[in-house]
Structure 1
Amino acid sequence: MDAIASGKGRKPKPFMLSEAVVEADAVWDSSQGLAAEERKAGRNIKPKASKQPTAGERPSSAMPDFIAPQLCETLDRPPSGKGWIHEIKFDGYRIQMRVENSEVTLKTRKGLDWTKKWPAIASAASSLPDCIIDGEICALDENGAPDFAALQAALSEGKTDALVYFAFDLLFAGDEDLRELELTERKDKLATLLSDAGDDPLLRFVEHFETGGDAVLKSACRLSLEGIVSKQGKAPYRSGRSQTWAKSKCRTGHEVVIGAYAKTNGRFRSLLVGVNRGNHFVYVGRVGTGYGAKVLETLLPKLKKVEASKSPFTGIGAPEGSTDIVWLKPELVAEIEFAGWTADGQVRQAAFEGLREEKPAGEVEAETPASPVENEVPDPETAKPAPKRLRKGTKVDVMGVMISNPDKPLWPDAGDNQPVTKLDLAHYHEAVGAWLIDHIKGRPCSIIRTPDGIGGEQFFQRHAMPGTSNLLELVTVFGDKKPYLQIDRVEGLAAIAQIGGVELHPWNCEPNQPEVPGRLVFDLDPGPDVGFSTVVEAAREIRDRLEDLGLVSFCKTTGGKGLHVVTPLAVPKGKKISWDEAKGFAHDVCEQMALDNPERFLIKMAKNQRKGRIFLDYLRNDRMATAVAPLSPRARPGATVSMPLTWTQVRADLDPKRFTVRTVPDLLKKTAAWQDYCDGQRPLAQAIKRLEKLTKAVA
Structure 2
Amino acid sequence: MAKASSKEPRELPPSEPMPARVDPCLATLVDKPPKGPDWAYEVKWDGYRIAVHIESGRVRILTRGGYDWTDRFPSIVDDARRLAVKTAILDGEAVVLDDKGRSDFGMLQRALGRLPSAVEAGAIVFYAFDLLYLNGRDLRRLPLRERRRLLEPLVAGREGAVRLSEEVQADGDEFFRVACAHGLEGIIAKHVEKPYRSGRGEWWQKITCKRRNSFVIVGFEPSTVPGRLGRLLLAARNDGGLVYVGGCGAGWSHELSRELRNVLASIVTKKPAVNLRRKNAVFTEPMLVAEVEYRAWTDDGKLRHASFKGIHELEEGSEVYDLSANLA
* Shorter-chain TM band: 0.7 to 0.9
Q: Does 1:349 align with 2:308?
A: no
Residue matched to 2:17 = 62
The structure 1 residue matched to 2:111, chosen from 128, 134, 154, is 154
Does residue 290 in structure 1 map to residue 270 in structure 2?
no
Q: How far 1:182 sits from its partner (Å)?
A: 0.8
Q: Indicate the percent of aligned positions where both proteins have the same amino acid.
A: 34
Other-structure match for 2:285 = 328
Letter in 1 for 2:72: K
Name the amino acid aligned to 1:354: G
Which of residues 232, 242, 266 is equivalent to 2:191? 232
The alpha carbon displacement at 1:214 in A equals: 1.6
Asked whether the equivalents of residues 93 and 358 of structure 1 are also in contact (C-alpha less than 8 Å), the reply is: no
Correspondence 1:74 to 2:29: yes
Q: Is the 8 A contact 2:46 2:103 kept in 1?
A: yes
Show the counterpart of 1:616. Answer: none
Instruction: Give the Cα separation in 1 of the matches to 2:49 and 2:66.
Output: 11
Counterpart-to-counterpart distance in 2, 1:170 and 1:187 = 7
Name 2:3's counterpart in structure 1. 23
Residues 324 and 250 of structure 1, relative CA distance in 2, 3 Å threshold: closer
Residue in structure 2 matching 1:83, options 6, 20, 38 = 38
Does residue 1:166 correspond to 2:146, yes or no?
no
User: Is the contact made by 1:46 and 1:189 (CA closer than 8 Å) also made in structure 2?
Assistant: no
Question: How far apart are residue 282 of structure 1 and its match?
Answer: 3.0
1:345-376 Cα deviation digits (max 9, x unpaired): 3223322221255984444346xxxxxxxxxx
Aligned-partner Cα distance in 1 for 2:111–2:92: 19
Give the drift of 1:135. 0.4
Q: TM-score, with normalisation over the residues of structure 2?
A: 0.82
> How far, CA to CA, are the matches of 1:190 and 1:349 in structure 2?
40
SS of structure 2 residue aligned to 1:123: helix
Which secondary structure state, in structure 1, belongs to the residue aligned with residue 283 of structure 2?
strand
Distance 1:263 1:358 in 2: 22
The one-letter amino acid paired with 1:110 is G
- Give the total of aligned pairs: 313
Q: Given that residues 47 and 192 in structure 1 are in contact (C-alpha distance below 8 angstroms), is that contact kept between their aligned partners in structure 2?
A: no
Whether contact under 8 Å (2:28, 2:206) holds in the other structure is: yes
Which structure is higher in helix share? 1
Q: Distance in 1 between matches of 2:8 and 2:178?
A: 26
Partners of 1:79 and 1:230 within 8 A in 2: yes
Q: Matched residue of 1:246: which SS?
A: strand
Out of 111, 125, 140, the residue aligned to residue 97 of structure 2 is: 140
AA aligned to 1:143 is: K
Q: In the TM superposition, what are the counterparts of 1:679-690 in structure 2 within 5 Å?
A: none
CA–CA distance in structure 1, aligned partners of residues 30 and 238 of structure 2: 17
CA separation in 2, counterparts of 1:131 and 1:339?
A: 40
Higher strand share: 2
2:245 touches 2:301 (CA, 8 Å); kept in 1?
Answer: yes
Contact 2:268 / 2:282 at 8 angstroms: preserved in 1? no
Task: Output the CA distance in 1 between the equivalents of 2:265 and 2:77.
Answer: 32
Q: Please name the residue that 2:59 is paired with.
A: 104
C-alpha displacement of 1:202: 1.8
Partner AA of 2:276 in structure 1: P
Letter in 1 for 2:110: A
The answer as to 2:233 corresponding to 1:272 is yes
- Listed as ranges, the gaps of 5+ residues in structure 2 are 324-328
Q: Are 1:249 and 2:249 matched, yes or no?
A: no
Unaligned runs of 5+ in 1: 1-13, 15-21, 25-34, 36-42, 52-60, 367-699
Larger radius of gyration: 1
Amino acid at match of 2:282: I
TM-score by length of 1: 0.41
In the aligned structure 2, how far is the partner of 1:199 from the partner of 1:361?
32
Deviations 1:441-491 (A, max 9, x none): xxxxxxxxxxxxxxxxxxxxxxxxxxxxxxxxxxxxxxxxxxxxxxxxxxx
